[in-house]
Amino acid sequence: MGDTDVTTDANAPWLIVGLGNPGPEYAMNRHNVGFMVADLLAGRIGGKFKRAGKAQAQVIEGRIGPPGPANRRVILAKPMSYMNLSGGPVTALRDFYKVPTANIVAVHDELDIDYGVLRLKLGGGDNGHNGLKSMTKAMGADYHRVRFGIGRPPGRMQVADFVLKDFASAERKELDYFVDRAADAVECLVIEGLERAQGTYNS
């Protein structure tokens, strides 16, 4: 599936999934930028995360967008499994809330994009990302992705070590701005569609 919109029920809810690892020790890791974006969106919606029944996730239900036809029902989620098991909780939420796979948005870190740069797309490979790998194995690849660039590890540092380290002090100076922009991109995708969001945020 390429970078194209698909037709879905206009009244169907959207499931926005921030990918990360649970626990305070991971909170500021590069791998947890999806959680950071989800937390910011939660503040905008005005809700608090709560445990989602049998699904191993925290969720908020709410709406985004202006009043009228552009207003969208959303379920904002943070899987509480570890990253490489994200597919189970996401699939459970998809089934419970009856969300079309094309209305699922995964927000995640991306090694092959420079720090702070965003790329939005529908479908595609997992590029070695364990959270995407688990989601795709569980439900196929035809969901949206908001890819938040973290860059490649310096020198000979292993990828696993790099993604599980906190953002560097120089990066943290701009982190709030980039997380805010990623949240804007998610909202644009849900309200206005992939093509408009790509045109605005794929830098």
Q: Report how far apart the first and last C-alpha atoms of the chain are (Å, whole number).
A: 21
Say if residues 65 and 106 touch (Cβ distance below 8 Å).
no
User: Does residue 31 have an active-site annotation?
Assistant: yes
Say if residues 76 and 38 touch (Cβ distance below 8 Å).
yes
Say if residues 132 and 83 touch (Cβ distance below 8 Å).
no
**Catalytic residue (one of 31, 108, 129, 144):** 31
Q: Which residues pair with 147 in a beta bridge?
A: 108, 119
Q: Which 3 state secondary structure label does DSSP give 202?
A: coil
CA dihedral 149, 109, 126, 165 (to 10 degrees): 110
Q: Which residues are catalytic?
A: 31
